[in-house]
Amino acid sequence: MKNEQLSQYADISTGRSFRGAIKKVDKEGYKVIQIGDVLFEKGKATVDFEQLTQTGLNTNRKVDCLSDGDLIMIAKGKEKHLVLLKNVPEKVICTQHFFVIKPNSQFANITSNFLKAYLESDFAREWLNANSGGNYQSTLSKATIEKLPIPDLSDKNGTDFIEYILSVIEELEKYNQLIEARKNQVAGLITEMVKQ
């Protein structure tokens, strides 16, 4: 299978640049995702939208807000956590310390779920870590992430590859739900037995 670059199948941009601390405002403004707002629990990165700092923006430029299905990836630090955004409120943006990754609309078979799975694969993580700059604190550049090798997904083989990856993800999700349900069942049974 021929390799392409991630930029062939994904639109990648950086978050909004802020100088210094983000000034909190009480009136309506934009909610800002910062590195500290990304929570990592049970192998999954999430954002609590209710806890975000709200700020005003003094700009005449169009503000690109985040939406459902967008991926945000932390660009600096040891862990480059990746979040697939869901149930995004209006007027949410992220700082320049994130990349915003969206499937290229020219390819109907490329989905956010597939891109997330690919970017979280051992191959992608190792490649990105090996190609990040900085000695003390690893920093990933936009140019680097755009060059991440990815199989050619434009033909039938590519579509089959994507469908297989997505089916495995769905299967793993079901297994994880079953495991959690069984853990809760055992915990409930133990509690019930102890109270008797």
Q: For residue range 49-68, what is the model confidence (pLDDT) as tens digits?
A: 988 988 888 777 888 899 99
Burial of residue 42 (number of CB atoms within 10 Å: 0-12, 13-18, 19+): exposed
Reported confidence tier of residue 37, pLDDT bands at 50, 70, 90 = very high
d(CA 142, CA 77): 15
Q: What is the pLDDT of residue 29?
A: 85
- Averaged pLDDT, 125-146: 84
**pTM assigned to the model:** 0.85
| Average pLDDT over every residue of 78-82 | 84
**Token pair listed for 21:** 């601390």
Q: Is the pLDDT of residue 73 over 80?
A: yes
Residue 14 confidence (pLDDT): 93
